[in-house]
Amino acid sequence: MKNTTKIFTALFISAVISGGVYYTQFTPEQREIRQLEKNVQLVRDYDDEEAWKALEQVPPERLRLLAEKGNAAAQYQLGVYYDSKDKKALAETWFKKAAEQHFAMAYRQLALIEARKHDNQQKYIEFLKQAYQLGDKGSQMLLAVNALEEDDKLTALMLVEEVAQQDYAWAQAQLGQWYFDGNVASRDWKKAFYWFNKAYANSKIYHQDGVYQVARGQSRPIIIQRELAILYLLGIGTAKNEDKAVALLAEIPEIAQEEDIATLSDLKIYIVGMKDKIDDPLIQYKIEQLEEEMLASKEPKILILLGEKESDQSKAKVYFGEACDAGSQEGCDKYRELNEKGVK
């Protein structure tokens, strides 16, 4: 009987202790802090826009209370809030408090403050390196941008490729763009497709409307969908898929849309116009194939667009003539206009 009593007593004490530990770890405030830290981490590691929106919904007075208690994520986010309200001194104060606790993103913000407020390049790089060493991917990208501006393409490429391997959409899109353009890395559209496709998938997972690159303090969108549509149309790095290209064009964020590339026909014309600017034999061959398909279609609109985009007036005249033969009055008018100018 005594043994049974001891067992029940031990079980009761264990339950009380466990319940106390559970309560301590999961009080409403602790759950709030865990969610705050999770959202900040999602923004830090993936630029997750849903997490960013959730952070913006946290009342500033609540952030202040948690920040005063010493929570680094709250201190950082309070700094973000003050910065958004143009209270720069207060923002810097709270970023510094978070940085004192080795909070990576706080160092990134302090770097940006140095660049904006003091134009201190040395401190800017110093803070970025501290953030980078603590695992901040955005700071690693900014260091790559700085290396590129100093014409150190190899360092820029190594930094971006390292973080691209960690599923960071900004890095993946940037790497894809470099392989696509051929101005930082050697042009390789198969690699470009691989990295654009990775960036596209991650932009969906992390709720991003667009992925941006930064150069000389200015951001501009990397149009993942347009470049992927080009690669799907040509069948480079993937199987040729015109339907996929159409779907991707429809997804291009409004901020990144170009007026002269609104339809599949526009995109095809854009691609054909790239042929003489690219010295890669495979890409040139694929573009020539596309051009032949367009000519074989005998679609007047496409023929006229080809003529309008053609810098060689003799070639343009041929396109307009074929459009005229296909029954287009506009094609006939443009053909006659060039003929009257004496274009052979």
pLDDT digits (tens, 9 = 90+) for 331-342: 999 999 998 888
Distance between CA atoms of residues 212 and 206, nearest Å? 14
Instruction: Give a yes or no: residue 39 inside a domain.
Output: yes
- pLDDT recorded at residue 18: 47
Look at residue 212 and tell me whether its pLDDT is greater than 70: no
Query: What is the mean pLDDT of the segment spanning 38-66?
Result: 92
CB-based contact 238:232 (threshold 8 Å): yes
Q: Any idea which of 129-138, 232-241, 310-319 has the lowest mean pLDDT?
A: 310-319
**Banded model confidence at residue 216, pLDDT cuts 50, 70, 90:** very low
- pLDDT recorded at residue 116: 85
Instruction: Give a yes or no: residue 210 inside a domain.
Output: no
Instruction: Give a yes or no: residue 253 inside a domain.
Output: no
Q: What value does the mean pLDDT of the chain take?
A: 87
Q: Which of 84, 116, 135 is the last residue of a domain?
A: 135
Instruction: Give a yes or no: residue 113 inside a domain.
Output: yes
Instruction: Give a yes or no: residue 289 inside a domain.
Output: no
Instruction: Give a yes or no: residue 333 inside a domain.
Output: yes
Look at residue 218 and tell me whether its pLDDT is greater than 50: no
The string of pLDDT tens digits covering residues 154-193 is 999 999 999 999 989 889 999 999 999 999 999 999 999 9
Q: Which of 118, 115, 116, 68 has the alpha carbon at shortest distance from 93?
A: 68
- pLDDT recorded at residue 93: 97
The string of pLDDT tens digits covering residues 86-98 is 999 999 999 999 9
- pLDDT recorded at residue 259: 59
Residues in contact with 313: Cβ distance below 8 Å, sequence separation at least 6, in sequence order:
338, 341, 343
Q: Which of 118, 135, 152 is the last residue of a domain?
A: 135
- pLDDT recorded at residue 128: 96
CB-based contact 203:224 (threshold 8 Å): yes
Integer-rounded Cα radius of gyration of the chain: 28
Look at residue 129 and tell me whether its pLDDT is greater than 80: yes
Look at residue 226 and tell me whether its pLDDT is greater than 70: yes
Query: What is the mean pLDDT of the segment spanning 313-323?
Result: 91
Instruction: Give a yes or no: residue 207 inside a domain.
Output: no
Q: Any idea which of 123-137, 216-230, 303-317 has the lowest mean pLDDT?
A: 216-230
For the CA atoms of 317, 322, 326, 329, the dihedral, rounded to the nearest 10 degrees, stands at 10
**Banded model confidence at residue 215, pLDDT cuts 50, 70, 90:** very low
Look at residue 59 and tell me whether its pLDDT is greater than 70: yes
Instruction: Give a yes or no: residue 80 inside a domain.
Output: yes
The dihedral through the CA atoms of 39, 41, 43, 48 has a sign that is: negative
Look at residue 141 and tell me whether its pLDDT is greater than 90: yes
Look at residue 294 and tell me whether its pLDDT is greater than 80: yes
Look at residue 44 and tell me whether its pLDDT is greater than 60: yes
- Does residue 147 or residue 309 have the better pLDDT? 147
Structural domains in the chain (count)? 2
Q: What is the residue range of 339's domain?
A: 298-343
- Does residue 256 or residue 180 have the better pLDDT? 180
- pLDDT recorded at residue 207: 79
**Banded model confidence at residue 308, pLDDT cuts 50, 70, 90:** confident
Q: Which of 77, 112, 135 is the last residue of a domain?
A: 135
CB-based contact 291:273 (threshold 8 Å): no
**Banded model confidence at residue 283, pLDDT cuts 50, 70, 90:** very high
The string of pLDDT tens digits covering residues 62-80 is 999 999 999 999 999 999 9
Look at residue 20 and tell me whether its pLDDT is greater than 80: no
